[in-house]
Amino acid sequence: MPLVSSKDVLLKARAEGYAVGAFNLNNMEMAQAIVQAAEEEQSPVIIQASQGAIKYAGLEMICAMARVLADASSVPVVLHLDHGTDYKQNVKCLRAGFTSLMFDGHELPLEQNIAMTAKIVDIAHSVGLPVEAEIGSVLTIEGLLSDAEMAEIRALEVPKQFEILRKKIGPRVEAHIARPEEAKRFVDETGVDFLAAAVGSVHGLWLDIWPLRVDRLKEIYDAVQIPIVSHGSSGVLISKAHAEAKGVELLPGEGSLKDAIKVGYTKINVATALSMEFNRAMLEAAAKRPGEKDPRKLLDPARKAVVAKTKEYIRLFESNGKGGGATCAAKGEVAGSQEIKRGEE
Ligand SMILES: [Zn+2]
């Protein structure tokens, strides 16, 4: 079916109490893998492109890939701009065929963030496109720790990694959490459709060990009553059981991704975890086939690994079976997903 609006997908998800994954693509293989996973799980899906991905692949190429994949798919597929940082980028994406926009003005003073978000919402709504905007700051791990500090922490056992991270970055992350009264004002004055409200996650964490301030998320959702978007989800604890297994002790008010979906998280962005999985499988294939001449022999295992990882997230968010599409889309029907056979090279 043609690309759909994120509003159609997310309002239904909120009403029915599940979340929809918004997966970042960096190349053709990842885009195919994400849509194939959604197809196999019969789930709605959001594929999103950051400005970095748009620069890498080209705006027209991103749109064309998304359009072709959506048209061939039986489940709803959305093409979303992730972290659009200015007005022009949003207008370019609107014109190119994106079906969902984002303005990230979190670095601006609140007044300016409100004014620019409202301007983008105005033009987007005039052609029926929804807009996500950010309040509070979801910080990036690279901005919080040096490469040397990260390498040192990553070499430790998981519980120790968490203990040190909590001490080193916890207070700064906490200081950037969104406030419910500001969130309410922001939504009222901008008319934005979905709110990326910082509630303690961090972009780019290498391991899913970080807790969310679920108490604050609930207060924000209760104040604004629109779907809340999760950024930095790759590094967030999946469930309470998962926290226990990893030796992470939750403080009062803290919770996991599962807890957060119950109280307002509706669009869950996953970028780092898929990129890491893609690279892991590609490098593993390269190590097994030294001197390989055909890039497809390295990229196809990476694509398959991303399909599997995306399916895990879809089931975690409980959007599987919610795609409402035909059931005829059998495994492997997405173009390009077949094995490369001898003689086809
Ligand atoms: Zn983000």
Query: For 291-338, what is each residue's pLDDT tens digit?
Result: 999 999 999 999 999 999 999 999 999 999 999 844 333 333 444 444
Nearest in space to 133 (alpha carbons), one of 144, 122, 141: 122
CA-CA distance, 138 to 141, in Å (whole number)? 10
Q: How far is the CA of 84 from the centre of ligand 1 (A)?
A: 10
pLDDT bin (cut points 50, 70, 90) of residue 138 is: confident
243 in Cβ contact with 260 (< 8 Å): no
CA distance readout (Å), 151 to 178, 233, 235: 30, 21, 16
Question: Domain for residue 145, yes or no?
Answer: no
Question: Domain for residue 39, yes or no?
Answer: yes
Question: Domain for residue 222, yes or no?
Answer: yes
pLDDT surpassing 70 at residue 341: no
Question: Which strands form 194-197's sheet, in the order they lie side by side?
Answer: 77-82, 45-50, 20-24, 265-270, 228-230, 194-197, 131-135, 101-103
Check 71, 82, 122, 188 and give the catalytic one.
82
Residue 137 confidence (pLDDT) = 85
Q: How far is the CA of 58 from the centre of ligand 1 (A)?
A: 20
Continuous segment of H or E residues that includes residue 253: none
Q: How far is the CA of 231 from the centre of ligand 1 (A)?
A: 4
Question: Domain for residue 245, yes or no?
Answer: yes
Instruction: Count how many domains the chain has.
Output: 1
Transcribe 135-176 into DSSP letters.
Answer: ES---BHHHHS-HHHHHHHHTS-HHHHHHHHHHHHHHHHHHT
Question: Domain for residue 342, yes or no?
Answer: no
Q: How far is the CA of 50 from the centre of ligand 1 (A)?
A: 9
Question: Domain for residue 323, yes or no?
Answer: no
Residue 234 confidence (pLDDT) = 86
Q: Which domain holds residue 130?
A: 6-140+170-317
Question: Domain for residue 163, yes or no?
Answer: no
Q: How far is the CA of 128 from the centre of ligand 1 (A)?
A: 23
Nearest in space to 79 (alpha carbons), one of 49, 54, 57: 49
Per-residue pLDDT reduced to its tens digit, 99-136: 999 999 988 999 999 999 999 999 999 999 999 999 98
Question: Domain for residue 224, yes or no?
Answer: yes
Residue 82 annotated to the active site = yes
Tally Cβ neighbours within 10 Å of residue 189. 14
**Structure pTM?**
0.89
Residue 187: HSE in the Cβ half-sphere, 13 Å Cα cutoff: 21
Residue 340 confidence (pLDDT) = 41
Per-residue pLDDT reduced to its tens digit, 20-50: 999 999 999 999 999 999 999 999 999 999 9
Q: What is the CATH number of the domain that holds 19?
A: 3.20.20.70
Per-residue pLDDT reduced to its tens digit, 195-254: 999 999 999 899 889 999 999 999 999 999 999 999 988 889 999 998 999 889 899 999
Residue 151: HSE in the Cβ half-sphere, 13 Å Cα cutoff: 3
